[in-house]
Amino acid sequence: MKPNFLIIGAAKAGTTSLYDYLSQHPDVYMCPLKEPKFFSLEGHKLDFAGPGDRRANRRTVTDWDTYQGLFEHSPMKRATGEKSPIYLYDKATPQRIKRYVPDAKIVVVLRNPVARAYSNYVHMVRDSREPLTDFTDALAAEPARIRANWAYGWHYKQMGFYAEQLQRYYDLF
């Protein structure tokens, strides 16, 4: 079994609420792991290095068999889906989705990119993962964090360039 629709993002744009609403529908089965991130991190060695990234590394699925196992007990429903907001941002993801689930419907939820970035920052501060107490400082630190392999959660600014992210999907689907 594999999903026939994917909620690909954006992060902090309401994707968790959409996941929760869809989970309540009798004709929809949602993957029990809210963000497996398989299509973004297939085959990757999970070594993100930011504060708290080890925990995120453990909750990520990197192989197809494990990913399919997330759906093996799903009852026959009209729609089977999963949500991983990172799918919108990661450059390699559209190609992987096309390879593994070429007929899947793609669902995108967007939010004002400035509000999204700040909400993401507040989320990281709330979870005690963001060491900088000023949003402007966190934005300035983003390039160094990307080079140091901090997970996508700290890509506050980069995750907001929706046009180029969506174009990768328009080109394939």
- Angle value at C-alpha 160, between 154 and 165, nearest 5 degrees: 110
Strand ranges (E), 4-76: 5-9, 28-30
**Bridge partners of 76?**
none
**Count of helices and strands (H, E) across the chain:** 9, 4
CA dist., res. 70 & res. 103, Å (int): 19
Q: Which residues contact 67 (CB under 8 A, 6 or more apart)?
A: 2, 36, 38, 61
Nearest to 33 by CA among 68, 77, 76, 5: 68
Query: Does the active-site annotation cover 45?
Result: no
**Catalytic annotation, pick one of 12, 34, 77, 91:** 12
List active site positions: 12
